[in-house]
Structure 1
Amino acid sequence: MILTRHRGMPAQDGAGVKLTRIINQPSLRYQDPFLMLDEFRSDDPNDYIAGFPPHPHRGFVTLTYMLAGRMEHKDSVGNTGVVEAGGAQWMKAAKGIIHAEMPKQEDGLMWGFQLWINLPAKDKLSAAQWADHPAEKIPELAINDATVRLIAGEYEGQSGPIQQPEQQFLMMDIKLGQAPVGIESFGQQTRLVYVYQGNVAINGDVLQRGELARLAATDTLQLQSDGAEDASVILLAGEPIGEPIAQYGPFVMNTQQEIEQAIRDYQAGRLQEA
């Protein structure tokens, strides 16, 4: 059953990158444990070429998943890598990290997602981590004539490369054929489906590209393409943390006092030393 449906809204971030904000916008705030979901999609380099110059984070995880184009990551811990079409990068900011995400192309289509996932209070000041997962490391499952890429979590005996087991976190990229597809639920309280290509019937209701559906926790997800055009969705599921959320831009903690401390640490150049 679809609980509510929402359309992403235009936004800008970084040095002026144009994107669509899907989660953490006026009609759809935090979806615990998911703090934010952005889609960036343009073949006009003026929309993305300025990228995301160095900026700090604390208290959560970022996950970047690319459909087209190339984006380079560099951070203050010494990690560097390029995520390309079909690949994902996972960064646990935790106690603090400063990173940059910059296009590695001057023209062509840049298309992908960035997801922010909250951390429980006990992990917010743990050590920062980063991992690069190229396209060939992401398992693909065939369900009827659909292709399911398992980016995070467990499904049908397969494991995605990104794991946060305590949250039963699941992320799938599902490219539909013409046959219906059923994806069973594992009972995660937060279940979301975002249509990023074509029109898709979700449990009988048709959603258009750019719409997200909040789903009941226990229903099997029934998907079917609603037209000749290619249809694809991102599926997210996870267990809520259930703790207070305090956010100021790139810092996500539990209290305002912790946010103020994060700002002081950043200004003093000790974000990662706290």
Structure 2
Amino acid sequence: MNNNENRSARHHPRGILRVMAHQWWCRPAKEPRMAEPALLIPQTSAMNTAEVVSLAEVAAKRAEKFGALIDTLDAGIAARAADAAEAMARAGFPPDQQRAGAEKATATARAEITKNSEDTRWTALRKLNAAADSIAATAPLWASPVTVLARHGLGTPERSHFQQQLAGAGPVELTNMAQFAAATGNKVLGAALVSIIDRMPTKARPFSAADLADRLVGEETRAMQAAIATIRTAAQRALVRNREWERGRASPLDKIKLALTTPKE
């Protein structure tokens, strides 16, 4: 095809489509765009220390009260079974029939009591579950001592001055200042130091941020973590107890999960 024919083909509708198709296939592929990490924002507001400690005490008492409720229900079922066996014994039935009568009375009583107590049990469980849900925004703020220390003095002139003064400090000076912060309990200075070394390569950091944070805020962090765990465990313990009671048997897997999440004293 000569040049004139080629030009006329390009102006022909079919020629235009072929050119467009060629350009589409030959265009460079776009590189995939890296997805930005999602920011998980809980639907609840963060609670202060006093609120969390108070809620932990309330949740523990509610879980204990729920356990007492289940014990009372169990006692009612056992009493019904004992009454049935005693009545059959007085009527002269043999022991095997007495046992069968007690088992039947147990099943009947459990079905009735389960139905009659459903609203009471689930009202208590919903309160415990609501308490566990309410700390969704608070728990991440106490994930570690470093997390807690990092927000000390944010927006204050004191922290800004510390960071400006130490911005060009070498490893020896940073280490000396970290020792001074630990010895004097200066959390704002500690937070400034952690912020500075966080921007350094891991191998170049002159001291451990975790060690400094543990010295300055470790105790209060662990206290809050224990309170948060108490709230969560209270709800889980009550749910497990209710599930076992409804089934009429314990679940070894539930017991293991509960033991792993229960705070150690």
Normalising TM by the smaller chain, what interval? under 0.3
Higher strand proportion: 1
Q: TM-score normalized by structure 2?
A: 0.18
Q: TM-score normalized by structure 1?
A: 0.17
Higher helix proportion: 2
Q: Which has the larger radius of gyration?
A: 2
